[in-house]
Chains A and B, each alone.
Chain A
Amino acid sequence: MRKVLVIEDNSNNLRLISYVLKRNGYEVISAESGEEGVELVQSNKELPYFIIVDINLPGIDGLEVARRIKKFDFANNIPLVAITSYAMVGDRERILSAGFNGYFEKPIDPLTIMDKIHEIILNK
């Protein structure tokens, strides 16, 4: 089973996205903070198929997480998807330039979100 890393501090949001991912046949690994997430990638035990990162995180934010992950050669090809709440003008550029392949906004529609995510990660 393909693994997906979800870096999200809000347990409800994590539960929700996990539902969707599991429903679509993915195994979910989670981290509650950016640092934890980066460490999990760095430990290199099992590289995820793709990574979902919430932009709003305690400690280092989602953008910083993406930048750090991108620095790892072995993890460079893993697609990164960001979750935001209502992007402001300029957010799009910032998210993409941090290394994300794309993003989606909260609140999500569980019925359609998976298609959106696939679109993002396959549109490399």
Chain B
Amino acid sequence: MAFEGDKLGQGKRRIKLSTASKIVIFYVIIGGGGIWFLDGMVSWWVKDYQQLVFYQNYKIWVFIGITALLLYWLLNHYLYQLKIPLREVNKFHTLIEFANDAIFFMKGDTFIECNSKTLEIFGLKDKEDIVGKTPYFFSPEKQPNGRFSKEKAREFISAAQKGIPQFFEWQHCKLDGTLIDTEVSLNCLPLPNQEVIIAIVRDISERKRAEAEIKRLNQELEQRVVEKTRELEIRNRDLEQNQQILLKLVRELNNKTAELQKANLRLEELDRLKSMFIASMSHELRTPLNSIIGFSSIVLEEWAGPLNAEQKENLSIILKSGKHLLSLINEVIDISKIEAGLIEPEISVFDSYDLITEAVKSFAPEIEKKRLEFPVALIHQEMHTDRRRLLQCVMNLLSNAVKFTERGRISLKANLITFSDFGKTTTGQVLNFLEITVEDTGIGIQEKDLAKLFQPFVRIDSPLKSKVLGSGLGLYLTKKIATEILKGGIEVSSKPGQGSIFTLRIPIRI
């Protein structure tokens, strides 16, 4: 069903004249013809007047009946056809009327019909207000992109008219001057004269606003990103600087390590040389001494023949000197070894009683010769330590006591003490010590000399100094051994002219 209209009405439809005329003409012919035929038939068949009137009346009713049927059939058939489009027309009418977008028709660039939303979008009251207007009438002079609205609009319209559907954004202007952003779609109607265009205009102001907001947020975000990037760059630079510093430190460290390694190698070399020195000294010095001590002993024992007293005396001096020299050498080598850290305790299990008895036995003759008293108080204590070294210390203390005591006595005492006498260790362990005390009634040591007592190569001035053989190493060595090898300690107290007390304290187990 095509339609044409110059006037915008309420949707009145007029059936094309040709079809209507066709129906009427058809009716007239059939109806007229029927009646003429019937008239003819009646006038031929019926002669009686009363019968004629009857048949004439009857004919009217027949006629009415037939036309009624015709009319019914006609109306039903066409109206049905009418009804559908009418219903559809109403439906579509409602659809368009109540659509949320502006939908309108243009002939060329002029509005011809529109829906309610169109009025709303352009800010109009009646549909009359739009008739004859153009879309660019409701637009600002220039579009946001700078083009003149009139020009551009006409471009779009002609393009649409050519059959190409147009879809674009457009800035409209309401009657009151407000600008609104819209989305426009144009399509032409498939008519022989394609001047009519369907236009749908959607208000996208909200969307535009949202887009602008998003853009703004994006910009803000970008700004923040730029800032953060800048921050990061700064931090990176700092980090790099720190890295550089670190690298430098590492390089320095490596240098130092290399230096240390070199120093270590030198130290190792020195250690090695020290050991070699000690070993060779040991050997070289002892070899001649072997002869001195050995042969003077042999001759003194008269293995090579009898001797007179004088010869014996002279020889014994040689022998004593040799032995003295040997003890000096031993001391020096011992100290060298301890200083070089070459000495390690040789641990064995022994009874303190046996050890001290051994020392006592070796000095007993000499003490007796000097007519000194020699009280000894010993204990039996199982020891786990270096026996030889402990003996060395005890012997040294006894030797000193004998050397520096002319009269009176030398007393030797041994007893067990526990560390709790001094206080517990950090681990709460209770350590046991063997305490050996050598007390003499000798010449004693001056207060000022006590500090020098354990120093190497220092011999305290005393009236006996020249009489007594000494190297100045005895106590130094004893202290070294007591502390470093036996892990104990040594103490001294003295009264000049009255005597001295040397106390040796050694852990029973190291």
Contact = CB atoms under 8 A, between A and B. Distances in A.
Q: Are A and B co-members of a single complex?
A: yes
Contacts of A85: 282-283, 286-287
A110 B298 contact: yes
A108 B290 contact: yes
B294 A86 contact: no
B303 A19 contact: yes
Interface string A30-70: 00000000000000000000000000100000000000000
Q: Which 6 A-B pairs have the closest CB atoms?
A: A107-B290, A16-B294, A86-B282, A85-B286, A12-B291, A85-B283
Contacts of A109: 293-294, 297
Interface of B: 279, 282-283, 286-287, 289-295, 297-298, 301, 303, 322, 326, 333, 342-344, 346
Contact of B342 (A89, A110, A111): A89
Nearest to B290: A107
A19 B326 CA distance: 21
Contacts of A2: none
Contacts of B286: 85-86, 106-107
24 contacts: A13-B291, A16-B291, A16-B294, A19-B294, A19-B298, A86-B282, A86-B283, A86-B286, A86-B333, A89-B342, A106-B286, A106-B289, A106-B290, A107-B286, A107-B289, A107-B290, A107-B292, A107-B294, A109-B297, A110-B294, A110-B297, A110-B301, A111-B297, A111-B301
User: Which among B297, B298, B344 has the greatest number of chain A C-beta atoms within 10 A?
Assistant: B297
A97 interface: no
B344 to A, nearest CB: 6
Nearest to A12: B291
Interface of A: 10, 12-13, 16, 19-20, 23, 56, 85-86, 88-89, 106-111
A20 B290 CA distance: 13
A86 B342 CA distance: 14
Nearest to A11: B291
Contacts of A108: 290, 293-294
Given A10-B287, A85-B283, A86-B333, A107 B326 contact: yes
A13 B301 contact: no
B500 to A, nearest CB: 32
A12 to B, nearest CB: 4
Contacts of B298: 16, 19-20, 110
Contacts of A13: 287, 290-291
Given A85-B282, A86-B333, A89-B342, A106 B301 contact: no
B344 A56 contact: no
B293 A88 contact: no
